[in-house]
Amino acid sequence: MNAPAAPRREDTGHYGYWPYAGRPRISWPGGARIAVWVAPNIEFYELDPPLNPQRAAWPHPYPAVPGYSIRDYGNRVGHMRQMALLDKYGLRGSISLSTALCIHHPEIIAMCRERDWEFFSHGIYNTRYTYGMSEAQERAMILESMDTIERHAGRRPAGYLAPALSHSELTLDLFAELGGRYSCDLFHDDQPTPLQVRGGQRFVSVPYSLELNDTIAYVVNKVEPRRYGQMIKGSFDRLYAEGADSGTVMCIPTHNYQVGCPHRLKAFEDALAHITGHSGVWLTTGREIAEHYLAHHHDAAVADIARHAGAGATTGQEA
């Protein structure tokens, strides 16, 4: 006999409704209108991972040469191309890191450390999904990923993006309890927002973008490379304009096996040139956005959210 299905949340439980209009003003360092961060996902996909019953790692039987090899291409070929481009435009990456890469390809970690890039956790492998993990298993996985980053990259990570965007109901709670400061797992806003977590830690969402994520654009939405460049520029132009009123955040999540391909790099470069050609742009990292927000805007946001939470809302940061 089947056990009755566990109740499922209707929403994430991490935030309440908070209208974009009329929020307390966000100011970025140097009076910038917009915080721009680039989040290269540097990932390791295993050739033969254990099978998760809820999600197969590969669409092809072992060895899944097409899928595995294009991702390996990213690390062998695409990474250097993308890193050189970010160097050229003065951008530091905030790496969404499959932390096993610290051991598989420490050469890449060393180059990014030299550049003072940020490393945040994207799980251990992008072929190990959170689905079906017990709380203890997920905590162990997150903790091991954080320890690996600290050991190899020199600093404990502040941010988390679940591996392959695979979540449990507790993912954000666990990361906050383990000392994390921000999450990239929610796509509900163009500004940082306070998040309510189980342990009550001060914890924020830093906007990450699925729409501008190159894998989503190229693989899911079948976007043409030059149009992808236009999308980045269009997004920047709008958020830059709105940032005159209150600071916005723009994230460009990339993958070395997507933008690092020769037929896609030029359009990406055009977009970076457009963004960095403006004044009033804070070129920064996810961690710096989170820290600035926590120090200067978090409490006012919580108070403003509480004002909105009167009419029956059950979520929102508790005082």
Partner 1 sequence: MALDDSHLAYPMRRHGMDHDRYAWSMLTDRPPLHWPGGKPLAVWINVSVQHFPMNPGAALKLPGSMTMPYPDLRHYTLRDYGNRVGIYRLLQALREARLQASFAVNAALVDRYPALADALLAHGGEWLGHSWSMDTPHAGAVPPEAEQAVIARSLALLRQRSGQPVRGWLSPGKLQTARTPELLKAAGIDYFCDWVNDELPYRFHTTAGELWNLPLATEIEDRFVVLDNLHAEASWADQVIDAFELLLAEARAQGGRLLSLSLHPWVMGQPHRMRHLERVLAHIAASDAVWCAQPGEIVALAAAQEPR
**Which two three-digit tokens encode residue 135?**
């709380």
**Which two three-digit tokens encode residue 300?**
């006012």
Alpha carbons 122 and 131: distance in angstroms, whole number: 15
Decide: is 151 part of the binding site for partner 1 (CB under 8 A).
no
CB 45 within 8 A of CB 71: yes
Nearest to 301 by CA among 178, 209, 203: 203
Decide: is 4 part of the binding site for partner 1 (CB under 8 A).
no
Q: Binding partner 1 by CB under 8 A: which of 134, 179, 234, 296?
A: 134
- CB 278 to partner 1: min, Å: 24
CB 163 within 8 A of CB 52: no
Q: Binding partner 1 by CB under 8 A: which of 12, 13, 89, 104?
A: 104
Q: Binding partner 1 by CB under 8 A: which of 12, 69, 230, 276?
A: 69
Alpha carbons 257 and 41: distance in angstroms, whole number: 10
Decide: is 50 part of the binding site for partner 1 (CB under 8 A).
yes
Stretch that binds partner 1, among 17-25, 71-79, 181-189, 276-284 (CB under 8 A): 71-79
- CB 16 to partner 1: min, Å: 31
Q: Where are the beta strands (DSSP E) in 207-274?
A: 248-255
Stretch that binds partner 1, among 32-40, 139-147, 237-245, 271-279 (CB under 8 A): 139-147
- CB 162 to partner 1: min, Å: 14
- Please say which residue, 78 or 286, places its beta carbon nearer to partner 1: 78
DSSP type of residue 19: -
Nearest to 260 by CA among 248, 251, 252, 268: 268
Q: Binding partner 1 by CB under 8 A: which of 110, 140, 241, 303?
A: 140
Alpha carbons 146 and 296: distance in angstroms, whole number: 26
Decide: is 8 part of the binding site for partner 1 (CB under 8 A).
no
- Cα–Cα distance list, 227 to 83, 179, 215, 267 (Å): 22, 39, 14, 8
- CB 266 to partner 1: min, Å: 5
- CB 49 to partner 1: min, Å: 9
- Strand-strand pairing, 281-283 and 34-42: parallel
Alpha carbons 14 and 11: distance in angstroms, whole number: 8
Decide: is 216 part of the binding site for partner 1 (CB under 8 A).
no
Residues in contact with partner 1 by CB under 8 A are 44, 46-48, 50, 52, 60-63, 65-66, 68-73, 75-77, 79-81, 100, 103-108, 124-125, 128, 132-134, 137, 140-141, 144, 218, 222, 224-226, 261-267
